[in-house]
Amino acid sequence: MLLLEVENLACTYTTGGTLGHNNAQRQVLRDVTFSVSEGTCFGILGPSGSGKSTLARCVAGLMKPDSGSIRFLGTMLWPVAGARKPEPRIQMVFQASSLSLDPRMRIGDSIEEGFFPFRHSVGPRERKERITRLCSEVGLPDEILRRYPGELSGGQRQRVAIIRSLAAHPRLLILDEPTSSLDPVTQSIILSLLVSLHKEFRVSLLYITHDVASAEVLCDRIGILDDGILSIEETVRPHR
Ligand code: ADP
Ligand code: MG
């Protein structure tokens, strides 16, 4: 079954427009089409500036495309009449996860925020159990929940961001260069963690990277993004 269907997506940034200068338009995505089947990992590979994060933001609902469509589990997410509703079954992990954690909040409270869309259906006790289980799953000691982001290493913070995004059982996890701010050893730890979480939680992944080797480890299929144009390369999974 198709989880995500993106068709003919185009996106432009408008910049400038100060003191008599005309607005400058920069088209960042041109006619991007791909789909992600349930339970699979689709990789988007491309150099810096090719439009990867823009594509991620459009799918996550953080940005409006100019044209094209985004369908999730058969339902049209874009275009829609009126404002786009948040889709909690799509979650995103950013490159700089430390920036997405509130420095004044304890780690446990930050993770708990991930449950917000489901606060009426998942009780406090179940939330606590699930958080404890996720921590042990990703190799973080429980006591970390009482700490603040500034007291964690980059790799620990990135694991926290991953737990937070998994807290509420998303169907699609968008990972935008999730390891590129980490050292090589931590990168490979996070990568194998993603492989096992992908299998265990049956969460589909949209894995965005400029690193071919990691995409080959994780992905079933890979699309190459070049200056806003996506070409799809079928891949076999050589390392799994
Ligand atoms: P990538 O993630 O592949 O590095 P991005 O999607 O971040 O690429 O950026 C694609 C292009 O869009 C780049 O040229 C970048 O400078 C430009 N861009 C990104 N964000 C903005 C923005 N908020 N306003 C204007 N231009 C932007
Ligand atoms: Mg980017």
Tell me which of 14, 27, 53 to substitute to probe ligand 1's pocket, judged by most ligand atoms within 8 Å of the beta carbon: 53
Interval between CA 10 and ligand 1 midpoint (Å): 13
Question: What pLDDT, on a 0 to 100 scale, did the predictor assign at position 181?
Answer: 84
Q: Strand ranges (DSSP E) for 52-187?
A: 67-72, 75-78, 90-93, 172-176
Q: What are phi and psi of 19, to 5 degrees?
A: 40, 60
Q: Mean of the pLDDT values across residues 101-118?
A: 88
Closest residue by CA, ligand 1 atom 6: 51
Q: Mean of the pLDDT values across residues 145-169?
A: 91
Which helix (H) or strand (E) segment holds residue 73: the answer is none
Half-sphere exposure of 177 toward its Cβ, with a 13 Å CA cutoff?
19
CB 208 within 8 A of CB 52: yes
CA dihedral 230, 231, 236, 240 (to 10 degrees): -20
Tell me which of 14, 18, 23, 28 to substitute to probe ligand 1's pocket, judged by most ligand atoms within 8 Å of the beta carbon: 28
pLDDT category, 12, cuts 50, 70, 90? Answer: very high
pLDDT category, 20, cuts 50, 70, 90? Answer: low
CB 39 within 8 A of CB 202: yes
Taking Cα atoms as reference points, which of 111, 238, 108 lies closest to residue 162?
111
Residues at CB less than 6 angstroms from ligand 1: 13, 15, 26, 28, 46, 48-54
Closest residue by CA, ligand 1 atom 23: 13
Question: What pLDDT, on a 0 to 100 scale, did the predictor assign at position 87?
Answer: 92
Residue corresponding to tokens 């990703």: 138
CB 198 within 8 A of CB 19: no
As a whole number of angstroms, the distance between CA 15 and CA 28 comes to 12
Per-residue pLDDT tens digits for 56-82? 999 999 999 999 999 999 999 999 998
**Which 3 state secondary structure label does DSSP give 151?**
helix
Q: Output the six-digit token pair for 68.
A: 């094209």
What is the percent of the chain with per-residue pLDDT over 90, rounded to a whole number? 62
Per-residue pLDDT tens digits for 187-201? 998 898 899 889 888
pLDDT category, 182, cuts 50, 70, 90? Answer: confident
As a whole number of angstroms, the distance between CA 167 and CA 160 comes to 10
